[in-house]
Amino acid sequence: MKIKIGLLTVASFMVLSTSCKKEEGEGGSASITGYVHVTDYNASFVIVQGEYPGMDKDVYIKYGDDIGEGDRTRTGPDGRFEFKYLREGTYTLYVYSDDTTLSGTSVVSKIVEITDKKQKLDAGTFEIKKD
């Protein structure tokens, strides 16, 4: 009987250890911070009218190879943002910026990697334009 219990315990451990691999995303102890800086142009994008922190801007995160956005946060009055409770893995952060193309917007993105489960990663500055 002890042999059967031992085998069952080993089999249970193998199933649990292979099914517990965590993909990128929420559920960890790491975080990513960053800053959004706005350069305000006139309508023709020729003259700079001002520069300031990107207050109340949407910042998006994609987990690993996911196709769509994983989550969204907004910047504070100082242009700073934070995504908390992340696991180790690769993330794509992005914000939208005005531009002179036909669509009128472009994506400013950065790929970052969390390599430690308690890492506090600074993604740096996202430069966006506004008309």
> If pLDDT is split at 50, 70 and 90, which confidence band does 9 have?
very low
Handedness of CA 83, 19, 113, 119 (dihedral sign): positive
- The mean per-residue pLDDT over the stretch 9-15 comes to 44
> If pLDDT is split at 50, 70 and 90, which confidence band does 11 have?
very low
Which residues is 68 bridged to in the sheet?
none
- Three-state SS for 11? helix
Residue 5 lies in a domain: no
User: Which comes out higher in pLDDT, residue 103 or 50?
Assistant: 50
Is residue 104's pLDDT more than 90?
A: no
Query: Measured between alpha carbons, how far is residue 62 from residues 31, 52, 69, 86 in Å?
Result: 14, 26, 5, 12
Residue 1 lies in a domain: no
Residue 2 lies in a domain: no
Residue 17 lies in a domain: no
Is residue 48's pLDDT more than 50?
A: yes
What is the C-alpha separation between 89 and 107, in angstroms, rounded? 22
Give percent of the chain above pLDDT 90: 61
Residue 55 lies in a domain: yes
Rounded to 5 degrees, what are φ and ψ at 63?
Answer: -90, 120
Query: According to the model, what pLDDT value does residue 2 have?
Result: 52
- The mean per-residue pLDDT over the stretch 22-31 comes to 82
Query: According to the model, what pLDDT value does residue 120 have?
Result: 97
Is residue 110's pLDDT more than 90?
A: yes
Query: According to the model, what pLDDT value does residue 124 have?
Result: 98
The parent domain of residue 33 ranges over: 24-130
Question: CATH number for the domain including 28?
Answer: 2.60.40.10
